[in-house]
């Protein structure tokens, strides 16, 4: 069984970013990312801090806007408008989920698609469906595809089953896997909470992507012998022995599934580190494309 280390592949992606950043610096360019957080959700705050730190470590220009939960839709739209016009900012990310009074779809649509490094803007969703390489692909599925490529997993002709149909993971993952070319050309089945007899479908998967949000949901009975399993899930479960009182587990019951697999990602240390690495890569892409269009 091959353990696919997201930590190692993410390091490789970040090393590529570093060399790109040096090249851009020689042209007088410094990629910039603005991350906007509304409210004080501890998990979101932790994500935003780690994104900011990763940017700084790499030598990117990083701007963090931490706004109170009382921020209005108009105030947020005004900030997004400013960031769209700011020439030092190439990527804009509004941390999800915002407080309930904020219309998230309207905020996403207000972001300049050329700076939408999360890949959530309708223009970028369309570009992914159209296989237009100038678009931005959501970081998590993009990271999963890179893991498959780096691990030497052949996707062409394989039956890939995606469990989950969210706009952040499941749907773009399916589009990437069915796209023509390297890391694609798979026969894709998308499943979700209404799928009948899920295990009978997942057991036909050569490549199984779990993006459900339920701890240890995928069991040995869901997986065929020799399958490749990518576990996107990040779930907190209570653990009295752990220092923080909880530990992180995936959507896959690793201990019982791993022995059946040709390859599998762990949690933590699998897809998680790839998401942030691909965010950095998307920011560099935005910087290069914006510069080329000026
Ligand atoms: P969502 O809650 O948006 O989507 C979950 C999907 O799973 C839905 O499509 C849902 O179906 C489906 N689902 C739920 N229950 C079942 C079931 N019993 N059988 C089959 N399908 C089911 O979650 P996300 O896509 O945002 O995230 C999924 C997981 O990935 C979470 O654990 C999240 O924390 C993690 N994640 C990890 C990231 C990383 O960096 N590694 C980044 C983003 C997410 P339906 O549509 O019918 O409701």
Beta-bridge partner residues of 237: 247
| pLDDT tens profile 54-85 | 999 999 999 999 999 999 999 999 999 999 99
CA 51 to chain centre: 12
Among 13, 288, 23, 293, which residue's Cα sits nearest to residue 142? 13
CA of 232 to the centre of ligand 1 (A): 8
DSSP type of residue 268: S
CA of 186 to the centre of ligand 1 (A): 21
Catalytic residue among 112, 118, 231, 251: 118
CA of 271 to the centre of ligand 1 (A): 14
Q: Could you tell me the pTM of the whole model?
A: 0.98
Percent with pLDDT over 70 in the chain: 100
Ligand 1 neighbours by CB, cut-off 6 Å: 140, 163-166, 168-170, 191-195, 198, 211-214, 232-235, 251, 271-272, 275
CA 267 to chain centre: 15
The average pLDDT across 22-41 equals 96
Nearest CA, atom 41, ligand 1: 272
Beta-bridge partner residues of 65: 36
Contact call for residues 2 and 262 (beta carbons, < 8 A): yes
Atom of ligand 1 nearest to the CA of 276: 40
The average pLDDT across 97-111 equals 97
The average pLDDT across 91-109 equals 97
Query: Mean pLDDT over all residues of the chain?
Result: 97
Tokens coding 259 = 């022995």
| pLDDT tens profile 211-259 | 999 999 999 999 999 999 999 999 999 999 999 999 999 999 999 999 9
Contact call for residues 102 and 76 (beta carbons, < 8 A): yes
294 pLDDT more than 90: no
Tokens coding 34 = 């603005």
Q: pLDDT-based confidence at 43, cuts 50/70/90?
A: confident
Among 185, 175, 170, 181, which residue's Cα sits nearest to residue 251? 170
């Amino acid at each position: 069984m091959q353990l696919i280390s997201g930590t190692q592949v993410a390091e490789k992606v970040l090393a590529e970013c570093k060399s790109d950043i040096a090249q851009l610096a020689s042209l007088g360019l410094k990629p910039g990312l603005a991350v906007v957080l509304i409210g004080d959700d501890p998990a979101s705050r932790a994500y935003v801090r780690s994104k900011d730190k990763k940017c700084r470590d790499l030598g990117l220009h990083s701007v963090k806007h931490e706004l109170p939960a009382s921020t209005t839709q108009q105030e947020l739209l005004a900030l997004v408008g400013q960031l769209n016009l700011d020439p030092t900012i190439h990527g804009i990310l509004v941390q999800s989920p915002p407080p309930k009074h904020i219309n998230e779809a309207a905020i996403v649509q207000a972001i300049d698609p050329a700076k939408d490094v999360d890949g959530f803007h309708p223009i970028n969703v369309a570009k992914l469906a159209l296989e237009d390489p100038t678009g931005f692909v959501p970081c998590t599925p993009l990271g999963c595809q890179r893991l498959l490529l780096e691990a030497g997993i052949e996707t062409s002709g394989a039956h890939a089953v995606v469990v989950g149909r969210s706009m952040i993971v499941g749907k773009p993952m399916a589009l990437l896997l069915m796209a023509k070319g390297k890391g694609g050309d798979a026969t894709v089945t998308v499943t979700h909470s209404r799928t009948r007899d899920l295990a009978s479908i997942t057991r036909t998967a050569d490549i199984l992507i779990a993006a459900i949000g339920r701890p240890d949901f995928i069991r040995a009975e869901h997986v065929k012998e020799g399958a490749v399993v990518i576990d996107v899930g990040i779930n907190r479960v209570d653990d009295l022995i752990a220092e923080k009182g909880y530990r992180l587990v995936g959507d896959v019951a690793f201990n019982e599934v791993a022995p059946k697999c040709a390859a599998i990602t762990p949690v933590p240390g699998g897809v998680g580190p790839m998401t942030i690495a691909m965010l950095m890569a998307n920011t560099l892409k935005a910087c290069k494309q914006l510069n080329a269009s000026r």
